[in-house]
Chains A and B, each alone.
Chain A
């Protein structure tokens, strides 16, 4: 409760700056219009106009809020015009890609920790894979997969996977290596098998690292799914909404799609945070 006031203050400041910026950015267009129609505009008229244009450079907060309200609450979720529907399309690809990426990252991390050869050879490739701009290879992945008859959810999920396996590899390699030499020696004195060492020591030790990685992976996954929707001119999904919005100059639509994406990401990351708290608490680690 103590935090409510500071948070509200910050929000209020941001909203105020946003409104001011909307005036500043949209004023030119309003003035041009007035000039063409050869009419005078008072200052207050000008301000009101900048906050209610149909295709503003920067939509005002209430315009975005209204659009969000209309496209989420007032539309049936099955409707093509419902933002909830589009968010779900993107989220399903995100979740599939996240699951695949986590599995891949986990498997690579285990290999790197247990096999010297992989330790030496895999990591450079993993890092190199992330230096390639995703925007450059996303279309290729989509096109190649389409050519072999894979379309819809999977190509998008592949791009999500491509982005999300990376934090999981990095985090899990660190996590699985977290046990001290002493603890590993201890396992050796008990003549524990590799499997026992993994399940009873390395895996539990890696949990805090795993959750930190999963949060980043989830956000990266969402970005991947949205990027995956751009090059195909996909008909559904938040990426499609962004693309369509930019074709037709529908800035309000773009901004509401962006906010929806942010909300989805925030929700998923918070969900992982919750699972993290419960898990670590049950493990006695927090």
Chain B
């Protein structure tokens, strides 16, 4: 009994074992994921990095029950992705903000809450809370087109935070934004993660972004998509932007780069 206690303290939230996924396309089968094994602990911030086409999105979609594995299993909170989805265990942030143009920012954030049947007063309270969390207080009544790209993406993160999911899946949420906005959002995301204690899976193809944000960096390579390295970050929880100039940071970045290069040596 006592031996299991640390297990419970650091509960495994996502567990992939021998995961394979092959897409049957007109040009023949595409092996998007091969023999993927990974454990994500509660409260982890995991980044998935790798060249495009290495299966990052596919992996995230499998976790979210948007794609079915060909073989192997994924457990989310100890149950299948489908059950986890039905239990609304995660919020998913897509590459594009995907806000509804006919709804205000507040209305967009309220949307999942309406669908999930939250009471109106609770809806209003949550909308207010998450808007503050992503620094968009006062924009509730604005329409998406009145906001910049970065603000829209923040609103879409707020929408994924509004309901009680303790996992946040993010697929290159800042990919389309410029460096400066991106830095700012990365800082905010870390603060948000510290405050909400959520488990975050974050897809990126920027090495500094991955190293700056993560407690665990998963390096992937393409054809077939697979994991080539998993790096546990020794960086402290508290991470000012300047940490990116420290030797520790550069060392991890170097290891990630090596991992990416090794993945390419195959072809």
User: Which A residues are closer than 8 A to B by beta carbons?
Assistant: 180, 182-183, 185-192, 196, 200-201, 204, 207, 283-285
Contacts and interface: CB of A to CB of B under 8 A. Distances in A.
B104 A191 contact: no
B103 A284 contact: yes
A285 B102 CA distance: 6
A200 B96 contact: no
B24 to A, nearest CB: 18
Contacts of B114: 200
Interface in B231-253: none
Interface stretch (B43-51, B85-93, B132-140, B201-209): B85-93
A151 to B, nearest CB: 44
B66 A185 contact: yes
Contact of B101 (A180, A191, A285): A285
Given A182-B94, A188-B85, A191-B88, A201 B115 contact: no
15 contacts: A182-B98, A183-B98, A185-B66, A186-B92, A186-B94, A187-B115, A188-B85, A189-B91, A192-B115, A201-B100, A204-B100, A204-B102, A207-B102, A283-B102, A285-B102
Contacts of A187: 115
Contact of B115 (A182, A185, A190, A204): A190
Interface in B211-264: none
B66 A188 contact: yes
B112 interface: yes
B111 interface: yes
Chain B interface residue count: which class? Answer: 20 to 34
Contacts of B143: 284
Contacts of A204: 100, 102
B265 interface: no
- Tell me whether chain B's interface is mostly helix, strand or loop, or mixed: loop
B185 to A, nearest CB: 20
A33 to B, nearest CB: 66
B92 A189 contact: yes
Nearest to B142: A284
A179 to B, nearest CB: 9
Contacts of B101: 284-285
Given A183-B98, A189-B66, A189-B91, 12 more contacts: A180-B98, A182-B94, A186-B98, A189-B85, A190-B112, A190-B163, A191-B116, A200-B111, A200-B114, A204-B100, A284-B103, A284-B143
A191 B100 CA distance: 17
B90 A189 contact: yes
The 8 closest A-B pairs by CB, nearest first: A283-B102, A189-B92, A190-B112, A284-B143, A192-B115, A190-B115, A285-B102, A204-B102
Nearest to B114: A200
A284 B106 CA distance: 13
B146 to A, nearest CB: 9
A98 B88 CA distance: 43
Interface centre among B64, B65, B95, B100 (most CB of A within 10 A): B100
Contacts of B61: 185
A196 B113 CA distance: 12
B94 A185 contact: yes
B98 A284 contact: no
Contacts of A183: 98, 100
A186 B61 CA distance: 11
A284 B115 contact: no
Interface string B61-78: 100111000000000000
A234 to B, nearest CB: 44
A58 B73 CA distance: 80
A191 B85 contact: yes
A186 to B, nearest CB: 6
A191 B117 CA distance: 11
Nearest to A204: B102
Nearest to A279: B102
B86 A191 contact: yes
Contacts of A200: 111, 114-115
